[in-house]
A and B are shown apart, each in its own frame.
Chain A
Amino acid sequence: MERNQMHRQVSVMRQSLFDQGYLDEQFIQLEELQDDANPNFVEEVVTLYYRDSSRLILSIDQALERNPLDFNKLDTYMHQFKGSSTSIGAKKVKAECTQFREYCKVGNGEGCMRTFQQAKKEYTILKRKLEAYFQARQSGPSETACRPRN
């Protein structure tokens, strides 16, 4: 009885991440790459994302403190950040990144700063939710999307 409850909980957590728009299709693509030999692939990828992105975020923060702003540099950083966010299916973060690049194109510094605060917020919220999800997934029996081993 308890096992099934854990199952359900993990499943519900996972589904709500999609329903609430935090994750998109790409996350499912990652899940499909998991198998018996690589059961934690998604978690590894997400961990890598947060590790690499933290450096990038720091760079963007520092770049936003410059006067005048170097929009080319900002756009380059954001291009990377958006790319990684897209790769893991971080839907809301990706949307903020897209908005940021629009502001870069027109040289709107205010817009960039505002949007970046939003992006960081979404990034942090997602991090907490994914951490909770992966933790629940590990402690419960593993039956989330798994392909047979090739």
Chain B
Amino acid sequence: MGMVAEAQFHVLAVDDSNLDRKLIERLLKTSSYHVTAVDSGSKALEFLGVLKDEQNQANPPSVFPNDHHQDVDVNLIITDYCMPGMTGYDLLRKIKESKSLKDIPVVIMSSDNIPSRINRCLEEGAEEFFLKPVQLSDVNKLRPHLLKGMAKESHPNIDKIKAMEETHSPDRTRTNYNGLEVA
């Protein structure tokens, strides 16, 4: 049944709650994504190899602008907003400030429906803002962002991945951040 294993998207999930981490992991795996789940922003940055990136920035500019210096290949980062230490917003900013990571789409999750918070995240470059508990219909919204990211790198398997595309559940407009719906 599971065919194109090497064309799997890799999602990095960040949440300090064990429960929510288990949930988001299951949701993402249901959509056939490869998942890495960590419990803090700093662990996320560590996984993404940011420390290495800071060293690279001290060197002369790269001749090849698409040379990513990434330790691992992550296609999307989905992070909780409220976390001790580094919030999801802090993490978002750090990613957008990083030369090698800024093009990775970032999605924020929060159990609070606070318009100013949502706007701040979107302005900082987050692709989506999901209200918790995250649903399958929310996860279905990730696919276009992932495909867009791959098109940028002109990934050879993009046609294969597009062909695999299927809708898992009817699209619900429950978490419509433009309408600022109360959960």
Contact = CB atoms under 8 A, between A and B. Distances in A.
Which of B1, B23, B32 gathers most chain A CB within 10 Å?
B23
Given A29-B135, A32-B136, A149-B1, A87 B26 contact: no
B136 A49 contact: no
A80 B26 CA distance: 20
19 contacts: A30-B23, A32-B136, A32-B169, A33-B26, A33-B30, A38-B26, A44-B22, A45-B19, A49-B19, A83-B111, A84-B17, A86-B111, A86-B132, A87-B20, A87-B23, A87-B132, A149-B1, A150-B30, A150-B32
B80 to A, nearest CB: 9
Contacts of B27: 33
Given A52-B19, A79-B111, A87 B30 contact: no
Interface string A32-50: 1100001001001100110
Contacts of B32: 150
A99 B38 CA distance: 31
A28 B26 CA distance: 15
B17 A26 contact: no
Q: Is the interface of A mostly helix, strand, loop or mixed?
A: helix
A26 B174 CA distance: 13
Contacts of B26: 33, 38, 41
A146 B58 CA distance: 53
Contact of B82 (A33, A79, A84): A79
Interface of A: 26, 29-30, 32-33, 38, 41, 44-45, 48-49, 52, 79-80, 82-84, 86-88, 149-150
Interface residues of B, number: 18
B115 interface: no
A80 B32 CA distance: 29
B59 interface: no
Given A80-B17, A87-B20, 4 more contacts: A48-B19, A48-B22, A87-B23, A87-B133
A28 to B, nearest CB: 11
Given A38-B26, A150-B30, A150-B32, A29 B20 contact: no
Ranked 9 nearest A-B pairs via Cβ? A83-B111, A87-B133, A84-B19, A33-B26, A48-B19, A52-B18, A26-B133, A49-B19, A87-B19
B133 A86 contact: yes
A126 to B, nearest CB: 15
Contacts of A88: 19
Nearest to B110: A83
Contacts of B132: 83, 86-87
B22 A83 contact: no
A150 B29 CA distance: 10
Nearest to B23: A87
A69 B19 CA distance: 28
Contacts of A38: 26
B161 to A, nearest CB: 15
A30 B169 CA distance: 14
A87 B32 CA distance: 22
B82 to A, nearest CB: 7
